[in-house]
Structure 1
Amino acid sequence: MAVNFNKDNTFGAAFAGFAASSLCLGVLCMQSYSYFKRYPLDKTFYKLLVAGVLLLELADQALISHAVYTYTVSNWGVLTILLKPPVWSLVLQITLGVATGTIVKVNFAMRVWRFSKQNIYVTACILLLVFGEVGVACVYTVRGFRLKSLQDLGSMKTIGSLSLGLGVATDVVIAVSLCYFLRSLRTGHRQDDSMVNALIVYALSTGGITAAISLTTLILYNFMPNNFIFMAFYFVLSKVYANSFLAALNTRRVSRGRGTEDAQTTTVPTFLMVGKVTQRTVHLDPEYAGESPISPSKTSENKSPVSPSTSGHHYAEAW
């Protein structure tokens, strides 16, 4: 059987994707080190989450390295390798990449839950998209192990496109939802609104980057399924998700001066539409008692002026 082979868009593309993925992993390791150094008293849940994401990405990179080594070193010059079933590490890497993306997306879905005052419909829609992608990706992985030739990847184009399409849709829905609900938290005070605007820009930028990479992978897979260019983009995708998650955690100090080191209470001003200023005592910990970041546990009237800066801290805490 003849092999349609171009070393640049097959082995070359795989190596380029491996190099880019290694660079992103380096950034992730730096962010993880920065997180553990800056937030030694952060919640155990977040520490375990960061450690889990880092371990998943280290394993993911190991699988990518094994696959690239197999095709570019162990079988150097053996063109018929493309006619054989895909190496196991190349197929299994898909599952690990989806696992990282799922952790990050669920975490962002919880942010939507908090900022939307526990809007169950929007949050459920996001989670449905997330776990729908997981299910389709698992089916793709199982079928990938059954392929008789690497050149037959195009035969799974439909299910692969569905998985990538769900990923794009999830990123877009999360970004749009965060922007919409964050805008509703504007108080009219410059400092608070500046904080909200910064979070909106961050949501758009991170969601836009991951959606763009997913969409690029989807397009390349549909138009060029018989080379490795789309794989190069997919190698990077999970690292981008992981870095966006760590960046969200590490920017809390910039936004508020500290992370979720402990559950304290403070007074957060709420500026009502009629211009009346009240004080609401809320827990800065957004996970406390299942409350949303702007839902008070107690409300009390206070005639003294209140600085709006604490609400800016509260936005960062919920973020």
Structure 2
Amino acid sequence: MSAGQPTIDNTIGSAYIGWGLSSLVFGVLCIQVWSYYQRYPRDNTAYKSLVGGLWLLELLHQVMVGHCVYSYTVTNFGNVLALAEKPVWTLSWQVFIGALVGTIVKICFGMRVWKFSKGNYFITGTIMVLAVAQLGTALTYTLRSVKLRLIQANQLKTLGTTSLALGVATDIVTAAALSYFLHKMRTGYAKSDTLINRLILYSVNNGILTSACSLTVVILYNVMPTNFIFMGLYFVLSKLYANS
């Protein structure tokens, strides 16, 4: 049997593994959020609200992922035909929630680019447009996917690929811009330059991690669109953005 053909292992099995991995990364996020509030109790209210809001969105995303996995592994246990019907609503809407988290994080990084570039409209605007465009395509994908049966998901391949590709492009542009403008801030003093080098490394590593995950999802989605392997990895993607 071809690796791309749907089986219990690469559909329900992949979704189950993806849920497990996303739970692990969500646990890391919970620790980071707790640590943030403990270490910075007097931080700006806006930042505290942003962190709390992202955590709540990720909690919602994780609940939705858990619900759709439960539906296919427990509620529809042994019902293979469930994979040929319309998807559980949480499977479709977790795509948008995940994209929303990613967009918020990308806009925050875009604001950092704005600050470090001293108000570069072109670069910052490019990042913002790419981020919002991805959110728009993700919403369109979600709204259309709820009307199709799972076996018809291939009809949304172009839309899904476009959304994920926009995410990869945003990550690459953001990482490159942060690295460039931070590099220009070097003063020649060892102490300050060391800090800047660490910020550059942090920016590059975050960009590589999220863009590599997004690119992998794009490849899997185009090579094997009829199974859930790409979706299992997508479950984890938004958690990586939130942790960054």
- Counting only pairs closer than 5 Å after superposition, residues 100-111 of structure 1 correspond to structure 2 as 100-111=101-112
- Alpha-carbon distance in structure 2 between the residues aligned to 1:83 and 1:19: 24
1:147-167 CA-to-partner distances (Å, cap 9, x unmatched) read 1x1111111000000000000
* Contact 2:12–2:73 (Cα < 8 Å) also in 1: yes
SS of alignment partner, residue 225 of structure 1: coil
**Structure 2: gaps (5+ residues):** none
Mark the structure with the bigger radius of gyration.
Answer: 1
* Contact 2:6–2:226 (Cα < 8 Å) also in 1: no
Q: Which residue in 2 is equivalent to 1:145?
A: 146
Q: Which has the higher strand share?
A: 1
Q: Which has the higher helix share?
A: 2
State the superposition RMSD in angstroms: 0.7
* Contact 1:14–1:231 (Cα < 8 Å) also in 2: yes
SS of alignment partner, residue 188 of structure 1: coil
Q: Which residue in 2 is equivalent to 1:45?
A: 46
Q: Which residue in 2 is equivalent to 1:10?
A: 11
1:67 aligned to 2:84? no
1:119 aligned to 2:123? no
Q: Which residue in 2 is equivalent to 1:167?
A: 167
SS of alignment partner, residue 57 of structure 1: helix
Change (3 A) 1:217 1:5: closer
SS of alignment partner, residue 16 of structure 1: helix
Q: Which residue in 2 is equivalent to 1:205?
A: 205
Aligned-residue sequence identity (percent) comes to: 51
1:27-84 CA-to-partner distances (Å, cap 9, x unmatched) read 0000000000000000000000001000000000000000000011111111111110
- Alpha-carbon distance in structure 2 between the residues aligned to 1:24 and 1:134: 22
1:75-112 CA-to-partner distances (Å, cap 9, x unmatched) read 11111111100000000101110111111000000000
Change (3 A) 1:132 1:5: closer
Q: Which residue in 2 is equivalent to 1:134?
A: 135
* Contact 2:217–2:230 (Cα < 8 Å) also in 1: yes
TM-score (norm 1): 0.74
Runs of 4+ that moved beyond 4 A: none
Q: More relative contact order in 1 or in 2 (CA 8 Å, sep 6+)?
A: 2
Opposite residue 115 of structure 1, the aligned amino acid is: F
